[in-house]
Amino acid sequence: MYKVKAYSAASATSPLASTTIARRDPTEHDVQIEILFCGICHSDVHHVRDEWHDRMPTVYACVPGHEIVGRVTRVGSAVTKYKLGDLAAVGCLVDSDGTCPECQAGVEQFCPNRILTFNSPDKHLGGITYGGYSDSVVVDERFALRVPSNLDLAGAAPLLCAGITTYSPMRRWRVTKDKKVGVVGLGGLGHMGVKFAHALGAHVVVFTTSPNKKEDALRLGANEVVVSRNAGEIHKHACTFDFILDTVSADHDINGYIQLLRRDGNITLVGAPAKPFAVAAFGLLFGCRNLSGSLIGGIPETQEMLDFCGAHNITADVEVIPIQKVNEAYERLLKADVKYRFSIDMASLKSD
Ligand code: NAP
Ligand code: ZN
């Protein structure tokens, strides 16, 4: 066991503050990674503030962070995929049973025994797992991912959650050339959704509540931008979309978006507001439309996504911040005031 610096929240109403946590010494299949950058996902905020209490109550002290890139600094004796000095990344998952049908299918996120990067039981040290707002992390090499060497590391970190969460449903629902794709909400997930849909050749329409994001949306790859506070503008697109990705983090009306789908079209929710939605059955009945959800992605698909990003030179647009600004960053995230992901430069932790 060794000690590392980290930032944790002591309760749902406490700010994140400097602390020290324990990490296990690498066992034979583990890699120890010095964390260089960690993205700030809106799920970190939901967790830290215990907003998902009914589904996944937060255990305090909570060290969030599941968009991790860094360098391998120690390897266990049986590690084969990594050597000292390699770049490696960790997303939302750090373990699973490896034997259940979900693991066998490469969708470890649905394993009944999955261990999330933070706020899951820690079978090695007891207590709960601690996330990436820290100096280093130790994971089984099965849950470490390779980062293409051409990618900027600060911008690559958010691929580990925002990237895979938007890439996976687009592959599942066959977003390809000439499909009409909507992305609702231009935040961390949404802007990655735009980049992927554009790279896959789709005609991309962004729905945003923020008129000041219009030019950025076009630069990121959108063909059209609709300010979603204007119902008339939305309605012009009725019955035309093959696929819509809803990334909104707060309560909102999804019925207007369901109406935009063509026959057999799909709207997938990846945003996770705490409050349940009201869905009008008629919107789905007329047109046999589909409403789905999607949760991050399994390890094989996450590697596929990273390789796709390497091939297309895709990273997140990031605002790099020192860890000391994390509480301010949370407040800005709640105001949709980030272009488009905060990425924490973990070197800043050394000066704490
Ligand atoms: P984010 O950066 O805060 O982006 C959310 C965007 O939603 C905002 O930028 C804003 O975009 C829009 N929005 C915010 N409040 C709104 C409101 N009241 N009405 C309409 N639009 C609103 O958050 P994120 O990190 O992308 O995460 C988005 C959601 O996905 C969160 O709930 C998060 O927990 C969830 N998530 C799910 C998964 C999964 O596996 N399913 C993985 C990661 C995150 P505009 O300014 O463009 O309107
Ligand atoms: Zn996330």
Q: How far is the CA of 162 from the centre of ligand 2 (A)?
A: 6
Phi, psi torsion values for 318, nearest 5 degrees: -120, 150
184: left (phi over 0), alpha (psi -120 to 50) or beta: beta
- 2's enclosing H/E stretch is strand 2-8
Does the pLDDT value for residue 181 go beyond 90?
Answer: yes
CA-CA distance, 122 to 117, in Å (whole number)? Answer: 10
Q: According to the model, what pLDDT value does residue 70 have?
A: 98
Q: Helix H segments across the chain?
A: 42-48, 101-104, 153-156, 162-172, 188-199, 214-220, 231-235, 255-258, 281-285, 299-312, 326-334
Over residues 149-162, the pLDDT tens digits come to: 999 999 999 999 99
Ligand 1 lined by 252 (C-beta under 6 Å)? yes
Which bound ligand lies closest to the C-alpha atom of 206?
Answer: 1
pLDDT-derived band at 231 (thresholds 50, 70, 90) equals confident
Ligand 1 lined by 213 (C-beta under 6 Å)? yes
CA-CA distance, 323 to 17, in Å (whole number)? Answer: 9
Q: Per the structure block, which two tokens stand in for 195? A: 């980049």
Ligand 1 lined by 284 (C-beta under 6 Å)? no
Q: Is 323 helix (H, G, I), strand (E, B) or coil?
A: helix
Mutate to test the pocket of ligand 1, among 213, 249, 252, 318 (most ligand atoms within 8 A of CB): 249
Over residues 295-340, the pLDDT tens digits come to: 999 999 999 999 999 999 999 999 999 999 999 999 999 999 999 9
Q: How far is the CA of 42 from the centre of ligand 2 (A)?
A: 6
Q: According to the model, what pLDDT value does residue 57 have?
A: 97
80: left (phi over 0), alpha (psi -120 to 50) or beta: alpha
Atom of ligand 1 nearest to the CA of 207: 47
Q: How far is the CA of 196 from the centre of ligand 1 (A)?
A: 17
Tell me, rounded to whole angstroms, the distance of Cα 286 from its chain centroid: 32
106: left (phi over 0), alpha (psi -120 to 50) or beta: left
Q: How far is the CA of 67 from the centre of ligand 2 (A)?
A: 7
pLDDT-derived band at 230 (thresholds 50, 70, 90) equals confident
CA-CA distance, 138 to 131, in Å (whole number)? Answer: 10
CA-CA distance, 306 to 347, in Å (whole number)? Answer: 24
Ligand 1 lined by 189 (C-beta under 6 Å)? yes
Q: How far is the CA of 42 from the centre of ligand 1 (A)?
A: 7
Over residues 35-66, the pLDDT tens digits come to: 999 999 999 999 999 999 999 999 999 999 99
